[in-house]
Chain A
Amino acid sequence: MKKKQKKKSRKAEVRIPFPNVLAMVLVCVAASGLSYVWLCAQCNTLGDEIKRLESVRQKASQQMVTEQSRWENMQAPANFARALKQHGLAMTLPGERQIVRVRRRSGSQALTLAYNKQGVNKADEL
């Protein structure tokens, strides 16, 4: 008799009512589902962000190339000469007499004048 009573009381202690179990399962499922949906949403948001950045990067590189091209166009010798003329700047290369040429002799740090007339006049000799 005592044994039966003990068994009954133990069973009564561990048993959780079915609605509670169902509620817990449903909560777990809902939580998992919501987590899944949240993660999916996060992934999509990140994906969208990556795509946006991809497009920004592409646009930036395109813009860089376009600007580079415009800069190169401005630096074209003909355009450069035109711009100088427009601003009233006259630039000429220095004449040979205005240039002092120096040469560093091999094995020495000293700089010496490199100009001599030999190169000009040697052609006269025959």
Chain B
Amino acid sequence: MNYKGRTILASAMIAVVFAGLGVRLAFLHLKPSEGTLSRIERGRHMEEETCGPRGRILDRSGNILAVDIAARHLCVDPKFILENGDIQQVCEAVTKVVPLSRSEVWKLLDQPERQYVRINRYMREKTLEPLMAMKLKGVIFEETSMRNYPKGALGAHVIGFSNREGVGSAGAEQRMNSYLQGTTGLRISQKDGRRHEIYSLRTVDIEPQPGADVYLTIDQQVQHYAEKALDEMVSKYQPKGAWAIVQRVDTGEILAMASWPTFNPNRYNDPRLPAEWLRNRTISYGYEPGSVMKAMIIASAIDGGYVTPRDVFDCENGRWMYGGRALHDSHGQGLLSVADILKMSSNIGAAKIALQMGNEKVYQSLRSFGFGARTGVDLPGEEGGILWPVKNWSKISITRLSMGHEINVTALQMLSALSAIANNGIRMRPYLIQKVVGTDGETIFESLPSELGRPIRSETSKTMRRLLARVTQPGGTGTKAAVRGYSVAGKTGTAQKVRPKAEGGGYYNHKYLASFAGFLPVENPAISIIVVADDPQGVHYGGTVCGPAFQRIADQTVRYLRISPQGFPTEYVSDIE
């Protein structure tokens, strides 16, 4: 074939190839088949569902207690790194930012058949910054978000935590999950050959909305006082557990709720963290309260007209036989007035007062103070305690109930009952959620103070406030709870711990539960506080173990909240000349 022929043949072949491509192009553009069309569409289609961030949790002053922050998953493409990158360099750089040894990182990288390996999840951008700056080939930083608790362990049991999937799993995070969860956004669009979105072809764009903000009644400063006081008590008496609550008497708002041992919600999934530490003992630990119960029994007796503060009872010099069983006082006393029975915490005196009331009245009184039922606080996992009906009582039950045995209560129930005595006899519902505010600033939900009942009259409340104030005065059992410059009312409690049936039942001889519950100022109570210690070592009296912790919390709280010794709130005045 000559030159001309070869040229014609080559041109013809090129023309045929181009004609073929042209025909194919025409078919693709003008009348593509269903299969081809759907394949193209699938390749270009982009549909992204994004979850809005979880709402924040704030304290009553607007301090952030929980918030969603940006994070990254550190991933690698081992196949790509082995073929195109420098595995040594990647290994060195990654080891510097992850909590893994060099050999562990190498093992993850040395997988030539894999194209996606996650090295570490939920890492802060700040930590990854040096690695990101290196722009290493085959290292991927996947965008995500994580829950962050900027105050660390502060108020951990109240705030709770949300899991990696963004679902509240404890505390306020769990209870308010439906409000806190953000809405899912949707973006439908098309992408180009480089897998970048073509903005002009975006057809649906629904922005994800963040969840609502939840404001708690907790005050971070008061919470800190409570936790610090517990820490000091724990280091001195080494109890197995300790807990405290601070409540506003007139509204029922919880200002602080601390439980020890505690945890850092940022590391809730640490395998070394004992499950028991996650427990909010203030609402889930039922215990026999001991002598604190005498306040409720005597209040009911005075309210029902069974006794007056000046009535005198024989306290049998500290040992009294009733129903075939002996009842003891820690300090033997002879004749004591009702006021002194409370001040010196006489078991025999309280038992005799309860006997004057009778089983039914004692039972009804305790029910009206809220024992044996949940308070309805807005936290999950609240226990209702145990108050057996009268038909289950033995002959001596009434004498034991009057000194806080044969009954199981939570610290919150006890504080709620004491607050009722302080609050002119009105029992308020304790609550922790102040309000929920939407993204547009509109209040979606607001808690208002609500009355649960009136176990005693206003006059009885006034009398009881004065009787309880004597407990912290010289000669009383709670002198260590006295606050300089303020009048404090309260009651100590020391109860032997119940021995589980598996261990033979009854009570432990040398294991106690110490507590102190009180309020201040006496004439116009503003706050009430309870402190409980489980099995303190060395000393076991409520006044000695918990009294100082109560004093520290009360002393700092009244001054921080600017509560005057007379009880009314004061404010800073700047315009006095």
Contact = CB atoms under 8 A, between A and B. Distances in A.
Contacts of A70: 150
Interface in B18-75: 53, 63-64, 67-70
Contact of A76 (B150, B469, B524): B150
Interface stretch (A1-9, A13-21, A24-32, A110-118): A110-118
Contact of B152 (A47, A48, A76, A103): A76
B473 A65 contact: no
Interface residues of B, number: 50
B190 to A, nearest CB: 11
Which of A63, A72, A114 has the largest number of chain B CB atoms within 10 A? A72
Given A51-B197, A101-B570, A66 B564 contact: no
Given A78-B224, A95-B484, A68 B67 contact: yes
Interface residues of A, number: 42
Given A65-B67, A96-B485, A72 B150 contact: yes
Contact of A96 (B69, B486, B556): B486
A62 interface: yes
A43 interface: yes
Nearest to B556: A93
A119 B64 contact: no
B199 A47 contact: yes
Contacts of B522: 119, 122-123
B224 A120 contact: no
Contacts of B151: 72-73, 76
A84 B198 CA distance: 54
A118 B523 contact: yes
A114 B524 CA distance: 14
Given A50-B199, A72-B150, A77 B559 contact: no
Contacts of B339: 126
B200 A47 contact: yes
Which of A50, A65, A102, A114 has the largest number of chain B CB atoms within 10 A? A65
A30 to B, nearest CB: 21
Nearest to A48: B199
B436 to A, nearest CB: 19
Contacts of B477: none
A118 B150 contact: no
Contacts of B69: 62, 65-66, 69
B220 A76 contact: yes
Contact of A69 (B150, B469, B523, B556): B150
B275 interface: no
B466 A126 contact: yes
Interface string B552-577: 00001001100011111010010010
B565 A119 contact: yes
B559 A120 contact: no
Interface in B141-156: 148, 150-152, 154
Nearest to B488: A123
Contact of B154 (A76, A94, A96): A76
Interface string A49-77: 01100000000001101101110110111
Given A69-B67, A78-B154, A101-B570, A123 B200 contact: no
A48 B198 CA distance: 8
A111 B556 contact: no
B238 interface: no
A47 B567 contact: no
A120 B486 contact: yes
B385 to A, nearest CB: 30
Given A66-B125, A96-B486, A114 B566 contact: yes
A114 B570 contact: yes
Nearest to B523: A119
A122 B576 contact: no
A101 B564 contact: yes
Interface in B117-145: 125-126
A36 to B, nearest CB: 13
B318 interface: no
Contacts of A122: 466, 487, 522-523
A44 B199 contact: yes
Which of B125, B154, B556, B566 has the largest number of chain A CB atoms within 10 A? B566
B281 interface: no
Contacts of A118: 523, 566
A97 interface: yes
Contacts of A48: 199
A69 B148 contact: yes
A63 B129 CA distance: 13
A73 B64 CA distance: 9
A68 B63 CA distance: 10
Which of B524, B559, B565 has the largest number of chain A CB atoms within 10 A? B565
Contact of B565 (A66, A68, A72, A120): A120
B309 interface: yes
Contacts of B570: 101-103, 114
A77 B523 contact: no
A116 B417 CA distance: 30
Given A66-B126, A111-B576, 5 more contacts: A77-B220, A96-B485, A101-B570, A115-B564, A120-B485
14 contacts: A44-B199, A46-B199, A48-B199, A62-B69, A66-B126, A68-B64, A77-B221, A77-B223, A93-B559, A96-B485, A96-B486, A102-B576, A115-B564, A126-B467
Interface of A: 40, 43-44, 46-48, 50-51, 62-63, 65-66, 68-70, 72-73, 75-78, 93-97, 101-103, 111, 114-116, 118-126
